[in-house]
Structure 1
Amino acid sequence: MKVKDDRKVELIFQATLKLVASKGLAGITMGDISREAGIATGTLYVYFTGKDELINALFAANRANSVQVAFRGYDPAAPYKPEFRGIWMNLLRYKLQHFEEVVFLEQCYHSPYITEETRLKARDLAAPFYELIERGQTELLIKPADPSLLLSFMMGAQNELVKQTHYSNDNLSKKKIDLTFDLCWDALKA
């Protein structure tokens, strides 16, 4: 049995992200992915039994990575709003720097490729975001609304800002970032 190489997995993931951004989830094949990754199609099947397994693994890895990056430096004992802003900024920077992942994740949320098991895992991986909202609600700083709805609003506003910035080839100014955060905060705060 051949030992799996983490560098190859990363090559496969990067090739898949690139192809999904240009062709969409449905438009890619395992052959496309192997060519883009520079590996033999047979080698690709050593790592993943098929496109569904690959897409689900990549979805879970990207979700885990984005949550880890978002909460870098977070101190739950520090005042809420500055910590919330820090997480919001970490996530915004991450999305701006990893646009292909934004496109991939967005397509996956609406895709039949993602299994119920992967959706549940993604929900578990997102637990720190729910805990953040619940902390704000406990401190009476965030609206007492469904945390899923509040997170959808926050993430949706960020995703649209990232897409607008990417497709317009504009630089995102500090003023626009600050305004977007303020709009988001004003919408969520109690």
Structure 2
Amino acid sequence: MKANIEDKRKAVMDAALKLFTERGFHGTSTAQISKEAGVATGTLFHYFPTKEDLINNLYFEVKGDLSRTMVKDLELQNTFKDKLKKIWDNLVRWGLDNHNEFLFVGQFCNSPYISNFTREEVMKEYVFLHKLVDDGIKNGDVKELPSELIIAMFYQNSRTLVDVISGCGPSCNENKFIDDGFEIVWNGLTKN
């Protein structure tokens, strides 16, 4: 029985992700989400009393998955640059492997439908990144800029790279694009 409940909840979340990404918040009704998920509208409301609850839960889950992916194998890196490169690689590859999720995060990161509470809870998942950047600034590894600016530029450049790689087709040398993209970001962040 529990598996069936989790299956229905996941179906609702997957349908919402697809439709919110394709149609936006206002262009997606709860009836459309229910139909896409193959569940009754009452089932959707059982899990998520409002569409705002649904989008906040989805945002929290997607951003949590992203943060866990970004730190994968981070402990194996020694230098600040190596750590930042590992985060970059993980972030871009996650974006390529989870394109709808990546689009969703980009669409809704500044959305008024994401509550302050959800944003604060999500930010707890990214303390590692803020600490890494703050340490990099303090140690002189990168320019003395606001850490929020560095993180925003890092993320926005990763979005651009995911779009470029996604659009260049099978002839694209994905690894080279990822490495070259990081070097462009790195050169913009360093003092030299």
Structure 1 stretch 174-183 or stretch 47-56: which is displaced more?
174-183
Contact 1:15 1:36 survives alignment (8 Å)? yes
Structure 1 stretch 85-94 or stretch 99-108: which is displaced more?
99-108
Letter in 2 for 1:73: D
Corresponding residue of 1:178:
179
Give the Å deviation of 1:89.
0.2
User: Structure 2 unaligned runs (5+)?
Assistant: none
Letter in 2 for 1:61: E
Corresponding residue of 1:155:
155
Give the Å deviation of 1:26.
1.8
Contact 1:95 1:102 survives alignment (8 Å)? yes
Corresponding residue of 2:46:
46
Q: Residues 32-181 of structure 1: matches in 2 within 5 Å?
A: 32-75=32-75, 78-169=78-169, 171-181=172-182
Partners in 2 of 1:110 and 1:147 — Cα distance?
A: 18
**Percent of residue pairs bearing the same amino acid type:** 28
Contact 2:165 2:174 survives alignment (8 Å)? no
Contact 2:17 2:104 survives alignment (8 Å)? yes
Structure 1 stretch 89-98 or stretch 109-118: which is displaced more?
109-118
- For 2:75, what is the secondary structure of its paired residue? coil
Corresponding residue of 1:188:
189
Contact 1:69 1:94 survives alignment (8 Å)? yes
Give the Å deviation of 1:157.
0.5
Give the Å deviation of 1:77.
7.2
Give the Å deviation of 1:5.
2.5
TM-score when normalising by structure 2: 0.89
Task: Classify 1:172/1:44 alpha carbon distance in 2 versus 1 (closer, same or farther; 3 Å).
Answer: farther
Letter in 2 for 1:161: L
Partners in 2 of 1:172 and 1:33 — Cα distance?
A: 37
Contact 1:25 1:107 survives alignment (8 Å)? no
Partners in 1 of 2:169 and 2:25 — Cα distance?
A: 24
Cα-Cα RMSD: 2.1
- Matched residue count: 189
- For 1:75, what is the secondary structure of its paired residue? helix
Partners in 1 of 2:79 and 2:160 — Cα distance?
A: 28
Letter in 1 for 2:178: I
